[in-house]
Amino acid sequence: MNDRGRRYFAENYSDYDRQNSPAKLSFYMGILHRRLPRGSLIFELGVGLGSFLEMASREYRCMGCDPNDFAVEQTRRKLSSPDIRRGSYEQIPFEPACQAVIAWDVLEHVGQLDEALSVICRRLPENGMLFGVVPVYDGPLGPVVRLLDKDPTHLWKLSRHQWLDRLKQNHFEVIEFGGIIRKLLFRRWYLHLTGPQWLLKVCGSAIYFVARRQKPSTRRTGEATQ
């Protein structure tokens, strides 16, 4: 099983460390800093090889999961006292309740997307937040993104507006989003552009977002709050 998990990363993310550079991870940390107090409990959905949680664990209490055995093993090695589980969104705990769920480049891989968003929403506390990044296939770069996307596990190839609408349909309030352009160039340089946002919001090859679980009083009548 670990050999198969290792092959997945070798075939699809052979330059994983370069594609998760300190600058990129620091950008993600900056998004958290704007919205989430240090010391909060976070749960990363899809830990990959643990690069983000390794950095985040210096300031936040961290849990996470991944369906890939190799990824779970590697992440556990990077964190001193990890609670890293094998599986997907069903592993997000009710107790202890996490203040945030992190999903960097994960939701496009999840087959039951609406079910996943519903579970995330129910297991977050009131005003808990979902932080995410997803590729988008609209705008000027949309055809290029489709052409270059060779990952067979990318199940959802949506536009930025379809992603934002999907969050709203599943009882999240989008409180921040922006555009990103990222690409590994010549297997040597990793391009990760995050500005100017007025331009990248409409033409980036990916978007990041912060979505807050809606208060129960704002939901439609008859819907459960847990």
Encode pLDDT of 143-191 as tens digits: 888 877 777 888 899 999 999 999 999 999 999 999 999 875 545 666 7
- 66 located within any domain: yes
Structural domain for 125, as ranges? 2-216
Report how far residue 172's alpha carbon sits from residue 106's, in angstroms, rounded to the nearest whole number. Answer: 17
pLDDT band at 225 (very low <50, low <70, confident <90, very high): very low
Dig out the tokens for 184 from the structure: 């590994």
- 221 located within any domain: no
- DSSP letters, 179-197, are EEEEEEETTTEEEEE---H
The structure tokens 């808990």 sit at 128
- 211 located within any domain: yes
Nearest Cα neighbor of 46 from 6, 86, 2 is 86
**For the domain that residue 119 is a member of, what is the CATH number?**
3.40.50.150
Residues contacting residue 152 through CB under 8 Å, at least 6 positions apart:
none
Dig out the tokens for 89 from the structure: 């969104």
Number of independent structural domains in the chain: 1
Looking at the predicted structure, is the pLDDT value of residue 107 above 80?
A: yes
Nearest Cα neighbor of 177 from 148, 198, 154 is 198
